């Protein structure tokens, strides 16, 4: 259905399948024009993007091999490993280079959380909602396979795809645990850094899952909030003093983002660190709530503004 | 059904893994596993993993940790035999000299390799030897078993099957596409 700017936005969005509560809050966060842009963007397809994997081959060699196959790539990120596919005569997820782990199919914006965490060789790093492994394999790449990553996922099926991706990408410094990450404190491990790319309602990726327009009620969002808060408290509990934690979701809902961070800022000895990427700051006012002003150190990546998946990213330092 | 256990290999399993790799490839190929301990995930089958020393120490020292897997899956043990699998073969491929270079990617689809598809072999081999299969641009395709010796290779017809994959478990990287995730 073509987008008609003249239509009443709420009525039009409902026709496109959105639940009204979503549009109301998008208007509050983005204004009417921004909401129209978002909704319009959600009807398009995201460009295909890949992350080159230096654990398997140099960026130059992989790029050369793909170019030789007629695959046209473009650098359009601040990070060297990210490429957008401009044109490809082959299915990009079935080339011998893909099967050998020379690259990962990974959304343009999902490259940020691991880079913002910036794990170092030799550190003990936690990845507390790891499957299917896009970010875990990226952490290992940044660490040059040195040090240790404890990657946790609760689902057996998802752990199988995690195993497949870690193996294919040549990751060797990872210990995978299939368990509820909230029980990790039983093992008395203390992490230098933790990535918590939390399970979320996924409202930032409607371009790839159009059912999300109406599959989650506000009650669902609040349930995610509770789960995310409990995961975050556990993660902070097993983080070393001065340790760093990146919290991210692919949701646009404040309850899953700023309101999660806001809660731990009130109750835990942590502070937010400013994230230096080109994206909107987190919101500090939502509905009738005034939130912690430091939440403007977090980032919101809106799909229509970044030509990528919607993301929220916060970086916390434990005192 | 009880949960699989992830444990350090026994001395016998360590010997079996090393002896198999050495006999299929060469003593040099064991160099691929320097810096790793072998661990076993013991469930319905025994899966073998090469785990870097640092990760291995963490698992050993952490009481009660139920590990799903760690390190690199290298193969499996059953009926007292060890079979190298994709990632184990890939590790060995950097050290092994029994390699065969092919012109097409049909091996990635679980298909055999005919004489006409062979570009070159780097060393002589016997029937039933395990060979690393690579593309002309040096991309790892997998591991296969020779159906003829390198001497016979010169005399057989173009449509003769020279290399087959494993019957038990395909050992080509196409597995990731067919069943990987």
Looking at the structure, tell me whether residues A273 and A135 fall in a common domain.
Answer: yes
Q: Which residue from A124, A248, A107, A131 is spatially nearest to A181, judged by alpha carbons?
A: A131
Strands B36-42 and B46-52: antiparallel
What does the block give as tokens for A137?
């394999």
| Domain range for B67 | 5-92
Q: Report how far apart, in Å, the C-alpha atoms of A170 and of each of A193, A216, B73, B167, B168 are.
A: 22, 37, 10, 25, 23
A250 is catalytic: yes
CB spacing of B105 vs A96 below 8 angstroms: yes
Choose the final residue of a domain: A79, A105, A131. A105
CB spacing of A177 vs B73 below 8 angstroms: no
Phi, psi of A25 (to 5 degrees): -75, -30
Looking at the structure, tell me whether residues A274 and A214 fall in a common domain.
Answer: yes
Looking at the structure, tell me whether residues B86 and B163 fall in a common domain.
Answer: no
CB spacing of A176 vs B50 below 8 angstroms: no
Looking at the structure, tell me whether residues B11 and B87 fall in a common domain.
Answer: yes
Report the domain count for chain B: 2
Looking at the structure, tell me whether residues A140 and A226 fall in a common domain.
Answer: yes
Looking at the structure, tell me whether residues A100 and A156 fall in a common domain.
Answer: no
Choose the final residue of a domain: B52, B71, B92. B92
**CB neighbours (10 Å) of residue A219?**
8
A2 falls within a domain: no
A87 falls within a domain: yes
CB < 8 Å to B55, chain A:
148, 172-175
3-state secondary structure at position B21: helix
A1 falls within a domain: no
- Tell me which residues of chain B have a C-beta less than 8 Å from any C-beta of chain A: 36, 50-52, 54-55, 58-59, 62-73, 86-87, 90, 105, 108, 135, 137, 139-141, 173-174, 176-177, 180-181
A239 falls within a domain: yes
Residue from the list B64, B141, B181 with its beta carbon closest to the beta carbon of A165: B181
Choose the final residue of a domain: B71, B92, B113. B92
Q: Which one from A30, A152, A250, A265 is the annotated catalytic residue?
A: A250
Q: Which residue from A239, A119, A128, A241 is spatially nearest to A190, judged by alpha carbons?
A: A239
Q: Is A22 exposed, middle or buried (0-12, 13-18, 19+ CB in 10 A)?
A: buried
A134 falls within a domain: yes
Among A57, A98, A132, A168, pick the best mutation site for testing chain B contact (most B Cβ within 10 A): A168
Looking at the structure, tell me whether residues B101 and B81 fall in a common domain.
Answer: no
C-beta of residue B127 within 8 angstroms of C-beta of residue B164 = no
Q: Which residue from A215, A205, A203 is spatially nearest to A255, judged by alpha carbons?
A: A203
Report the domain count for chain A: 3
| Domain range for A85 | 49-105
Domain of B122, CATH number, reads 2.30.130.10
Among B55, B60, B143, pick the best mutation site for testing chain A contact (most A Cβ within 10 A): B55
pLDDT (tens place) for every residue of chain A, 319 residues total? 444 444 588 888 888 999 999 999 999 999 999 999 999 999 999 999 999 999 999 999 999 999 999 999 999 788 999 999 999 999 999 999 999 999 999 999 999 999 999 999 999 999 999 999 999 999 999 999 999 999 999 999 999 999 999 999 999 999 999 999 999 999 999 999 999 999 999 999 999 999 999 999 999 999 999 999 999 999 999 999 999 999 999 999 999 999 999 999 999 999 999 999 999 999 999 999 999 999 999 999 999 999 999 999 999 999 9
């Amino acid at each position: 259905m073509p987008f008609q700017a003249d239509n009443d936005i709420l009525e039009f969005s409902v026709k496109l399948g959105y639940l009204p509560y979503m549009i109301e809050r998008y208007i509050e966060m983005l204004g009417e024009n921004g909401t129209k842009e978002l909704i319009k963007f959600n009807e398009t397809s995201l460009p295909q993007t890949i992350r080159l994997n230096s654990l398997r081959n140099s960026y130059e060699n992989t790029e050369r091999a793909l170019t030789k196959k007629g695959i046209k790539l473009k650098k359009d990120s601040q990070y060297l490993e990210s490429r957008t596919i401009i044109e490809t005569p082959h299915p990009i997820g079935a080339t011998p280079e893909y099967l050998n782990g020379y690259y990962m199919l990974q959304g343009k914006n999902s490259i940020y959380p691991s880079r913002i965490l910036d794990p170092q060789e030799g550190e003990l790093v936690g990845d507390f909602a790891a499957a299917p492994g896009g970010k875990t394999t990226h952490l290992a790449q940044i660490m040059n396979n040195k040090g240790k990553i404890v990657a946790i996922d609760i689902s057996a099926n998802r752990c199988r795809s995690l195993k497949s991706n870690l193996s294919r990408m040549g990751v060797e410094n990872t210990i995978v645990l299939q368990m509820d990450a909230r029980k990790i404190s039983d093992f008395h491990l203390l992490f230098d850094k933790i990535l918590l790319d939390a399970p979320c309602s996924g409202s930032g990726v409607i371009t790839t899952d159009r059912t999300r327009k109406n599959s989650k009620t506000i009650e669902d969002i609040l349930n995610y909030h509770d789960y995310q808060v409990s995961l975050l408290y556990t993660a902070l509990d097993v983080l070393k003093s001065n340790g760093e934690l990146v919290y991210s979701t692919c949701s646009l809902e404040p309850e899953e983002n700023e309101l999660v961070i806001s809660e731990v800022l009130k109750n835990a000895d942590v502070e937010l660190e400013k994230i230096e990427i080109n994206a909107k700051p987190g919101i500090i006012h939502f509905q009738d709530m005034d939130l912690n002003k430091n939440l403007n150190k977090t980032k919101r990546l809106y799909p229509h503004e970044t030509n990528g998946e919607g993301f929220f990213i916060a970086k916390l330092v434990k005192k | 059904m009880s949960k699989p256990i992830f444990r350090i290999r026994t001395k016998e399993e360590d010997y079996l893994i090393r002896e198999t790799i050495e006999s299929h490839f060469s003593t040099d190929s064991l160099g691929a596993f320097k810096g790793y301990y072998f661990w076993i995930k013991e469930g319905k089958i025994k899966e073998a993993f090469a785990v870097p020393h640092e990760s291995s120490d963490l698992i050993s020292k952490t009481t009660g940790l139920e590990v799903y897997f760690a390190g690199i899956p290298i193969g499996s043990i059953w009926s007292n035999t060890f079979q190298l699998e994709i990632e184990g073969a890939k590790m060995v491929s950097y050290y092994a000299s029994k390699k065969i270079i092919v012109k097409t990617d049909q091996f990635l689809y679980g298909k055999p390799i005919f004489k006409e598809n062979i570009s070159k072999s780097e060393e002589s081999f016997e029937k039933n030897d395990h060979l690393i299969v690579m593309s002309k641009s040096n991309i790892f395709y997998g591991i296969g078993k020779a159906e003829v010796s390198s001497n016979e290779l010169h005399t057989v017809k173009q449509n003769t099957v020279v290399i087959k994959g494993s019957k038990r478990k395909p050992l080509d990287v196409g597995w990731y596409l067919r069943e990987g995730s």
